[in-house]
Amino acid sequence: MIGVRSLARTGVALYITIGCALSGFASGQTIGGRRCEAADLSVESLSAGIAAGTYGINYVLRNHGKTGCTLSGFPILSALDKHGKVIRVVKFEHISGTWVTDVQTPNSVNVASGSDAWFQIIYSGGGGLDDRSSCHQVTSLRIYWPGSKKPLVDHASFETCGPVSVTSLRPPPYD
C-alpha cells in the first residue's frame, strides 16, 4: 500500500505542475493558498480602449499583504449612482475572453505579495442611440470576489446603455 500511495501522490503533483504551466502561472507559485481579503487588496481602474461605441475598463487588484493569496472565479459587481445607491437595472454578464482576445482563463489566480490580478468590464456607451432611456450613469463600482465579505470600491465613472460584460479574474499581462 505504501507504494500505491506514493505513486498516487506523484501523479497528483505532476498533474498540478502541468496544470500550472498550462494556465500561465509563474514557476514556484503554489495552488490553493489562502483566500485574498479586502484588507490585503487595493483596486485601480485603467481604460482598456474603445471600439465602435464599445468601451472597456481593466480593474487591477494589487495584493499589499505580507503573503500571497488566491482569487478565483468572476468578480461580483454592483453599479452605484452618485449617492452610493445600487443601480439595480444595470445587469452584469460573464464572458470568457476580453474585448481584445478570447483566451480561456484559470479558475484561480495566485497573487504574490506586491503582485496583481485583474478583470475587465466591457459595455456600450450608447453612441448613436436616439433613445437613451436604457442608459445609466455609474459613478462607482462595488467589487466582491467569491468568498469575500468586504468589497473594494472603485470610483471610475462611466455611462452604460445595456448589460455590462465581465471577465473572470486573471493574472497579468493586461489585454
pLDDT of residue 107: 67
CA 66, CA 36: separation in Å to the nearest integer? Answer: 11
Does residue 172 belong to any structural domain of this protein?
Answer: no
Q: What is the CATH number of the domain that holds 92?
A: 2.60.40.10
Rg (CA), the chain: 19
86 and 11 within one domain? no
CA 121, CA 168: separation in Å to the nearest integer? Answer: 10
96 and 51 within one domain? yes
52 and 23 within one domain? no
43 and 24 within one domain? no
Along the chain (175 residues), what's the average pLDDT of each consecutive run of 10 residues? 30 25 30 80 87 88 95 91 93 72 65 94 81 88 89 92 89 78
Name the grid cell of 86. Answer: 445600487
What is the residue range of 125's domain?
A: 33-166
The reply to whether the predicted model has a pTM over 0.85 is: no
* Total count of domains within the chain: 2
pLDDT of residue 16: 23
pLDDT of residue 106: 54
pLDDT of residue 1: 31
107 and 94 within one domain? yes
pLDDT of residue 138: 95
69 and 6 within one domain? no
Does residue 7 belong to any structural domain of this protein?
Answer: yes
CA 159, CA 55: separation in Å to the nearest integer? Answer: 10
pLDDT of residue 65: 94
Does residue 23 belong to any structural domain of this protein?
Answer: yes
pLDDT of residue 10: 32
Does residue 171 belong to any structural domain of this protein?
Answer: no
